[in-house]
Structure 1
Amino acid sequence: TEATAQLEKISKTSNQIQVAGVSLPIPEEIQTTQSVSKQRLLKAPNLADLKDFDFEVVTVNAKGKVTKTERCQAQFFTQELGNGVTLEMVAIPGGTFQMGAPVDEEGSSNDERPQHPVTIQPFFMSKYPITQAQWRIVAVLPRVNRSLAENPSRFKGDKLPVEQVSWYDSNEFCSRLANETGIFYKLPSEAQWEYACRVGNTTPFYFGETITSTLANYDASVTYAFERKGSYRGETTPVGDFPPNTLGLYDLHGNVWEWCADPWHDNYKNAPSDGSIWQNKNDNHYMLLRGGSWNDPPQGCCCAYRYMYEPVSRSSNLGFRVVCS
């Protein structure tokens, strides 16, 4: 199909499909919701019309010194939301990675183990956490399962990530967006999130051995390795203010915790190897979050770090991003 042909261009023209130096497969199709007769309020994007974008990534050593800068390119499609607001969805190639942290990683814990290989199918992930401008538009779309506050965030700003949204709220956002576009938007699985964050790296952070306050928004008054102490901003920052990873994804470390679709498990024993949502047989008292926030020390921002909250919880450091596949 034309969409497949466009997606295949990624492997020929863009850096973002290189994970650990290996060319990875591209999606053959994009899953959409099944109803095609519904009169939708938002126009579905043309998924055959992927566009390129260029960006710069950095690598740092354990002292936080930049040792490498690199120009990369990725592809994305744009979902129009109205009133000049868009949602950019970045193409994430499929591949296999080691999920979790090794026993010798600073600050790691047993809930991040055992490390295990996971194979991920291609998908799309939002370039940034969902912003307040994006949230407000979707919050007034027809209700699916629950009502949504139009302006729930503590820190106000169109380009700031939405926060004070629960796991249930985040899923309602996805359901409304899916219903009104025909694209199956949802929360990422925990495995999808870590895969997209790592981009083939085995270091604690996607930019290397440590983290600094020039690279992310977190509590930099606490150090992780041998870097100098930095600033503690005490609030969220506009999405995209800090360097992305080599897939072109921003704010995966710090700013707001990001809800995942999975319920909490105490470790990775018997975890699925296909990147799917890991369901359990209890009543899912706690759901997973990833990435750390403006209010967390560097340890909480590591690629492998896992956190949990009750799905009804709302806080000024809880947000989310979306995927489709």
Structure 2
Amino acid sequence: MRLRLLSLAALALSACSPEPATAVRDCETCPVMVELPTGKFLMGTAEADRLIDPRTGKPAKNDGPQHEVTVQSFAIGKHEVTVGEYRAFVDATHHQSVGGCMAFGTDKYFTISTDVDWDEPGFAQSADSPVGCVSFFDAQAYTDWLSETTGKYYRLPTEAEWEYAARAGATTPYHWGDDPALACEYANVRSAGADAISKRQAESDSADGFPCDDGVKQSAPVGSYRPNDFGLFDMQGNAWEWVADCIHKDYNGAPTDGSAWLDDTPCQFGVIRSGSFLNRVERSSTTVRAGRPRSGKATNMGFRIARGGDRGPPRSFGAVVPQRVVEQPRQQSGAIAADDEGARLFADNCAACHVEEYVFKGLYGKDQASLVRTIRDGGNNVMSMPAFSDRLSPQEIEALATYLRNKHDW
């Protein structure tokens, strides 16, 4: 144990900036960037240090094994990208997002609607609020525009860069230490009266209460809370943040050089970090990670940008950025008609469903019972899939599972 503590201390020192980080801004409408030094850190959570998710009574399993990573110097946004900064991009490019946005607080806990968007999320926000309802592709289009505008290489941070920046030398679950009661000083996390995400979230709120309560129920203007030791704000809570990586079940096989962990072909599922104003502090730690369809959007999902670093050349500026990649249906003997009840259910719920495509095909099992169980109870410890029993009847869940099995000829 003593050797492990000494090792943690050494890594913490190697990640610390000896002087306050330098803040720069490349244009009038550009986000303020903070330049971070090269360093090493332990990424992920050790088995003995896992936090219990109050909703499930179990720890997450996708943030291990803990491993040492070396990160080269780069710059990262001092704040999450704001509504005002994103509006400047939309005004300049006439960028149009695709698809509906997940909103919360309804009698079915969430809806996927085109009535809410980054500019109208369904609650009050200011130009300084973190922008929400943006997909991975929207965020990527924004960084491409910044690159074209400034001549600098802007991009999304890699997952390793993000965690390095969030920790700011800390080895504790939160960048401020291990006391969740201090969350209201440093992070906009879930508090009493926040919109319900799911039935078990509501049950957890009632049973466990909150370690602190700042009274903020939606997003807060960026910089409203205390920064971490790198001078970065809202690295925990406020809005989930897209990173560059594809999602993987855990860190087995993850790169150790700070680069993005991508697949051989373009992935459909990406990674979001930091938690949000709708997540309890335990779900907003420096190591919490969740998978989401890259085309997906939610009112509590935004992004933070990075600049520079040896991560390959930027894409051709002005290139068409794909907004959504749709898998073409295959001709299978077991395929069912597009107007089938299961297909309709999938279309209505697909922005939150993670059992369907590509590397996650069959992740939760391929038999009817396994799919029914996962759709009913959720897959939060792997892909943050909600429990659909909150919004679908047992008959609808059976129909959805049958559709998925027939679609993939399982």
TM score, norm. by length of structure 2: 0.58
Residue 89 in structure 1 maps to residue 89 in structure 2: no
User: How many aligned residue pairs are there?
Assistant: 257
Matched-pair contact (CA < 8 Å) for 1:25–1:93: yes
Residue 216 in structure 1 maps to residue 199 in structure 2: no
CA distance in 1, matches of 2:306, 2:270: 17
Matched-pair contact (CA < 8 Å) for 1:220–1:298: no
* 2:96 match: 147
Matched-pair contact (CA < 8 Å) for 1:220–1:232: yes
SS state of the match for residue 155, structure 2? coil
1:68-217 correspondence runs (5 A): 73-81=20-28, 85-105=29-49, 106-107=51-52, 108-142=59-93, 147-148=96-97, 152-154=119-121, 155-211=124-180, 212-217=183-188
Higher helix share: 2
1:24 Cα shift? 7.4
CA distance in 2, matches of 1:153, 1:130: 16
**CA distance 1:235–1:95, shift in 2 (3 Å):** same
- Report the residue type matching 1:179 in the other structure: E
Matched-pair contact (CA < 8 Å) for 2:16–2:168: no
* 1:191-244 Cα shifts (integer Å, max 9, x gaps): 000000111211000000033223211114559x99834245221000001010
* 1:27-70 Cα shifts (integer Å, max 9, x gaps): xxxxxxxxxxxxxxxxxxxxxxxxxxxxxxxxxxxxxxxxxxxx
Matched-pair contact (CA < 8 Å) for 2:15–2:41: no
Matched-pair contact (CA < 8 Å) for 2:15–2:169: no
SS state of the match for residue 294, structure 1? coil
* 1:98-155 Cα shifts (integer Å, max 9, x gaps): 1000112223422111111110000000100000111111122347xx6359953414
- Report the residue type matching 1:20 in the other structure: A
* 2:295 match: 312
CA distance in 1, matches of 2:148, 2:11: 33
1:25 Cα shift? 9.4
Matched-pair contact (CA < 8 Å) for 1:258–1:291: yes
Matched-pair contact (CA < 8 Å) for 1:136–1:151: no
- Report the residue type matching 1:192 in the other structure: E
CA distance in 2, matches of 1:236, 1:226: 20
1:259 Cα shift? 0.3
Matched-pair contact (CA < 8 Å) for 1:153–1:164: no
Higher strand share: 1
* 2:325 match: none
How large is the RMSD of aligned CA atoms in angstroms?
2.7
* 1:248 match: 231
Give the stretch that moved more between structures: 278-287 or 233-242: 278-287
Q: Which structure 2 segments of 5+ residues have no match?
A: 1-9, 53-58, 99-116, 193-204, 309-410
Whose radius of gyration is greater, 1 or 2?
2
Residue 20 in structure 1 maps to residue 3 in structure 2: no
- Report the residue type matching 1:241 in the other structure: S
**CA distance 1:97–1:77, shift in 2 (3 Å):** same
- Report the residue type matching 2:299 in the other structure: S
* 1:233 match: 216
* 1:279-323 Cα shifts (integer Å, max 9, x gaps): 123652211000000001112111111111111111110000100
**CA distance 1:116–1:208, shift in 2 (3 Å):** same
**CA distance 1:23–1:315, shift in 2 (3 Å):** closer
Identity %: 29
Q: Which structure 1 segments of 5+ residues have no match?
A: 1-17, 27-71
Residue 258 in structure 1 maps to residue 241 in structure 2: yes
- Report the residue type matching 2:12 in the other structure: A
- Report the residue type matching 1:181 in the other structure: T
Matched-pair contact (CA < 8 Å) for 1:152–1:165: no
CA distance in 1, matches of 2:281, 2:21: 27
Matched-pair contact (CA < 8 Å) for 1:19–1:199: no
* 1:133-182 Cα shifts (integer Å, max 9, x gaps): 11111122347xx6359953414311101111111100000011111110
SS state of the match for residue 141, structure 2? helix
Matched-pair contact (CA < 8 Å) for 1:100–1:304: yes
1:75 Cα shift? 1.0
**CA distance 1:275–1:92, shift in 2 (3 Å):** same
CA distance in 2, matches of 1:156, 1:203: 32
CA distance in 1, matches of 2:174, 2:149: 36
